[in-house]
Amino acid sequence: IQAMLRAEPDGHTLVMGSLGPNAANYTLQNKLPYTYEDLTAVIHVLSMPDVVVVNPPYVPLVDRERLDPEVREHDPATALYAGDDGLELMPAVIAAASRLLRGGGLVVIEHGDEQADACLQLLAAGGFSDGQSHRDLTGRPRFVTGRAMTGWNGGSDVESR
């Protein structure tokens, strides 16, 4: 994200949120604007952005032993696990993105290899259109995108806000 923003014209602001201190340590070392809050509370920081990118915890608890030991033993559990199916936080993430984005704004959400269909269904149920699944550089389905149909908690008059 940092490299991408360096290539963009001036006037873009990056605000990052986290469930734990690891992201704060990284962003402070790299001099990025940062807020350390519950990821669903970050919505008050910006006013109707065009894009929200989210990498929420998405590992199912049952997959704990399948993770690389380096990840399993050193990354905070709150950064990895999201309930039995790995989707426990997705409805809250999608609801926060819906409240935050302007109409037509793009949400990008990383997920586990087997979660694309469920995430697309959650996006549609959360008021997003044009849901698409995307593959990472290894060819695995790893993130979904969707367009906010309205913005600001379902308000229809987004252009005047």
- With beta carbons less than 8 A apart as the criterion, state whether 90 and 109 touch: yes
Looking at the chain, the whole-number percentage of residues with pLDDT higher than 90 is 43
- With beta carbons less than 8 A apart as the criterion, state whether 124 and 132 touch: no
Whole-angstrom distance, CA of residue 88 vs CA of residue 19: 14
pLDDT at 29 over 90: no
Beta strand segments in the chain, E: 51-54, 106-110, 128-135, 141-148
pLDDT at 42 over 70: no
Instruction: Please give the pLDDT value at position 158.
Output: 34
Q: Model confidence over 112-154: pLDDT tens digits?
A: 999 999 999 999 999 999 999 999 989 999 999 999 986 544 4
Instruction: Please give the pLDDT value at position 54.
Output: 86
Whole-angstrom distance, CA of residue 36 vs CA of residue 51: 19
Instruction: Please give the pLDDT value at position 13.
Output: 55
Whole-angstrom distance, CA of residue 96 vs CA of residue 159: 19
